[in-house]
Structure 1
């Protein structure tokens, strides 16, 4: 699950992906664009979407409105975009959940992650983190493992929804440690964080961007990041892999349009996204939570989706997760 070579390959091409002067598709856009975020407001995907949409709006000369369509682990929002007119005016902020995990986990497939979408650009790779309410007794991963062994089935963990990478982060942790804890799915990180902060749930796996402010303020305690190594923005937070060797998960955000969207429109959206990711404010904000900026071509995103499906298939199979 090591993605560093791929990331660095994409990053090295960034200068080549963005032209010195924008050559937007003739006549596009002529009106407001809707960017569907398939999760509730307040989570990592929502945060990335609003940052990028704001900068893309300035570049394109038309407003990009972010619309949160949560539920079913991202499937409801993604399916809505599949049904939209393929004209570039409805686009999706996709994730590893919408384009890798859900298609592998669901018995009934609401869409094909490759055939039903036109890739635009892989935007960022995002670390995940295991956070707990400050009242939770465990202070680190070793203490958590000891607590769960002593109290099997007593504790639950929250995530942004069934079949999301955060859900799978928890299931992988359970599998690799032999521990048991019940999963509580939400319609996005935002509502889950609200309950975690209120101590309605004791812990959750979250994307680092949406939890970073709470970690810094002390309203949440980070037990470990899910990447193989520690992240630059939180050097004092250990990687879970330091205690559970081989453990690694991460998330990503990418733009997709409905299949059949004209190539020149895809090109315009890709160019605007790539330039938006180079904006100093976006670079600084992403750096605050160690998100790796990519800004790929449509072709690279297509290959990335294929690779993610191949990577997650055996993990999903071994976890035994199947959803209706």
Structure 2
């Protein structure tokens, strides 16, 4: 049992709250600004999606929704902060595949929260594929170019948003397929990693499509391969990994979660307003432009989704040998 869950059980025993009191709190909500924690640095997909969602919820709820970036340790630092917060609906986290599915296995005992039981999961916001991009001056245009560079004397450096991300595991798996370990260069978020690639400090990056999309369109990076089953409709000229002879496919996902014990009426309200925001044609068009697909799960459905992701990724992390270092 995690520390955060034990704390809430102890508090529940010390300060019994009636259903009436909890209902009154939920009815008055929201009465103050809401904090939305992004467990990565600014500039990546998690941050980008969070700011779109924050603006949408702010309009619909009538209170400020403040995005707070708390990066570190594969998205577990900011996520742990939320797990330990008061479950009153005023602190949320942009839960994602790193914080809630992969990093708990990569970081092991260093992670103090349980990705399933320490959260009230609210909504799956968006899913999207992974894309590998390269600095245009790197000479890398195809995955075969990348493989050849990897087998050279200096190997191939590949940046990611951090250890414990799905993009990190893509780097590990690609090295296994090539037969030569790639040099994983973790950053504290996709934004800093992308800037390093654009500056030529790192030749290549494994990234989520939404945070890479604008850079691909601007030509500041070259899209080398898409980790989707088929070519992505937003980028039909970018070949898939499988088309280039590498059997890899990976989707990232991003959602909203709150500390466990958040009153059900508040969870339902946030879910309802999030779904309404995602249904707006302008929102769907923006996500489509970024290469993402809006989610449509209920809170119960999203909780089950997270539970399945945790179970699915744990053996893959173990088999990959991925570590935080």
Q: How high is the TM-score relative to the length of structure 1? A: 0.89
Larger Rg: 2
**Could you say what secondary structure the match of 2:192 adopts?**
helix
Q: Which residue of 2 aligns with 1:116?
A: 118
Asked if the contact 1:39–1:187 (Cα under 8 Å) also holds between the matched residues in 2, the reply is yes
Residues 191-241 of structure 1: CA distance to partner in whole angstroms, max 9, x if unpaired?
Answer: 111111110111110111111111111110010011222111000001112
Query: Distance in 2 between the 1:97 and 1:255 partners?
Result: 14
Query: Distance in 1 between the 2:213 and 2:232 partners?
Result: 12
Residues matched between the structures, number: 300
The Cα of 1:28 is off from its aligned counterpart by 1.1
Asked if the contact 2:39–2:71 (Cα under 8 Å) also holds between the matched residues in 1, the reply is yes
**Could you say what secondary structure the match of 2:304 adopts?**
helix
Q: Which residue of 2 aligns with 1:135?
A: 137
Superposition RMSD in Å: 1.5
**Could you say what secondary structure the match of 2:108 adopts?**
coil
**Could you say what secondary structure the match of 1:192 adopts?**
helix
- The answer as to 2:311 corresponding to 1:310 is yes
Extract unaligned runs of 5+ from structure 2.
1-24
Q: Which residue of 2 aligns with 1:79?
A: 80
**Could you say what secondary structure the match of 1:296 adopts?**
coil
Residues 239-291 of structure 1: CA distance to partner in whole angstroms, max 9, x if unpaired?
Answer: 11212343111110010000010101101111111111112221111001221
Query: Distance in 2 between the 1:301 and 1:154 partners?
Result: 40
The Cα of 1:80 is off from its aligned counterpart by 0.5
Query: Distance in 1 between the 2:229 and 2:317 partners?
Result: 19
Map 1:201-280; keep pairs closer than 5 Å: 201-280=202-281
Q: Which residue of 1 aligns with 2:22?
A: none
Asked if the contact 2:234–2:289 (Cα under 8 Å) also holds between the matched residues in 1, the reply is yes
Q: Which residue of 1 aligns with 2:61?
A: 60
Query: Distance in 2 between the 1:79 and 1:192 partners?
Result: 23
**Could you say what secondary structure the match of 1:26 adopts?**
helix
The Cα of 1:153 is off from its aligned counterpart by 4.1
Q: Which residue of 1 aligns with 2:106?
A: 105
**Could you say what secondary structure the match of 2:113 adopts?**
coil
Larger mean CA deviation between 289-298 and 265-274 belongs to 289-298
Q: Indicate how the Cα distance of structure 1 residues 152 and 232 shifts in structure 2: closer, same or farther if over 3 A, else same.
A: farther
**Could you say what secondary structure the match of 1:113 adopts?**
coil
**Could you say what secondary structure the match of 2:77 adopts?**
helix
**Could you say what secondary structure the match of 1:107 adopts?**
helix
Query: Distance in 1 between the 2:102 and 2:288 partners?
Result: 26
Asked if the contact 2:73–2:163 (Cα under 8 Å) also holds between the matched residues in 1, the reply is yes
Runs (4+) off by over 3 Å: none
Larger mean CA deviation between 248-257 and 236-245 belongs to 236-245
Asked if the contact 1:130–1:205 (Cα under 8 Å) also holds between the matched residues in 2, the reply is yes
Asked if the contact 2:123–2:256 (Cα under 8 Å) also holds between the matched residues in 1, the reply is yes
**Could you say what secondary structure the match of 1:307 adopts?**
helix
**Could you say what secondary structure the match of 2:74 adopts?**
helix
Q: Which residue of 1 aligns with 2:147?
A: 145
Asked if the contact 1:176–1:244 (Cα under 8 Å) also holds between the matched residues in 2, the reply is no
**Could you say what secondary structure the match of 2:202 adopts?**
coil
Query: Distance in 1 between the 2:33 and 2:146 partners?
Result: 48
